[in-house]
Amino acid sequence: MDIREELTVKVSDLLKPFLAELNLVLVDLVVKRRQKEYYIEVILDRPTGGITIAECSIVNKRLNEQLGMVSAIREDYILEVSSPGLDRPLKTQQDFLRVINRLVHFHLASPIHDKLDHEGLVNKAENGSVVIISDYGEVTIPLNTINKAVQVIND
């Protein structure tokens, strides 16, 4: 295991108690080497979406304190803790569970009901599919047919 992989595992382990205490989920964790420092990006959310800036700040502070004691980090690092953002592409079943009852636009690899594009309220996500309620009824979309899905943001 190289240092980057070791650091990814260590950061993930350090996050677990904070996430459990604050009822948050890890959406993504990226550790990259940038010149003389490591860049650690932690993306968090609530199980149902809607993490606050204050919660990100709490995790950032606590994780920063813990990282100072990790022997794998012998050099400088940049830590960024953030939310997934409203415009982040939705990919996994967990992503769709966070947007239940929200409007999502789908572009598919293969047509369903003779359409490659669908838009509707996410009703449920289970068994490798997303069920939406669109203008023309209930549509079941298998996750493996989705090229891109994004939450529709109305001003």
Over residues 33-53, the pLDDT tens digits come to 888 888 999 999 988 778 999
C-alpha–C-alpha distance, residues 131 and 24, integer Å:
24
Cβ count near 123 (within 10 Å): 15
DSSP state of 64: H
Across 127-144, average pLDDT: 96
Lowest mean pLDDT among 12-26, 44-58, 62-76, 83-97: 62-76
- Domain over 3-82 is classified CATH 3.40.190.10: no
Residue 30 has what pLDDT? 92
Fold designation for 93-151: SH3 type barrels. (2.30.30)
* pLDDT band for position 71 (cuts 50, 70, 90): low
Q: What pLDDT band is residue 87 in, cutting at 50, 70 and 90? A: confident
Are domains 3-82 and 93-151 of this chain identical in fold? Answer: no
Q: Are 102 and 84 in contact (CB under 8 A)?
A: no
Which residues does residue 28 pair with via DSSP β-bridges, in sequence order?
Answer: 43
Token pair 């009824």: residue = 137
Which residue ranges make up each domain of the chain?
Answer: 3-82, 93-151
pLDDT at 24: 94
The 3-state DSSP class for residue 114 equals coil
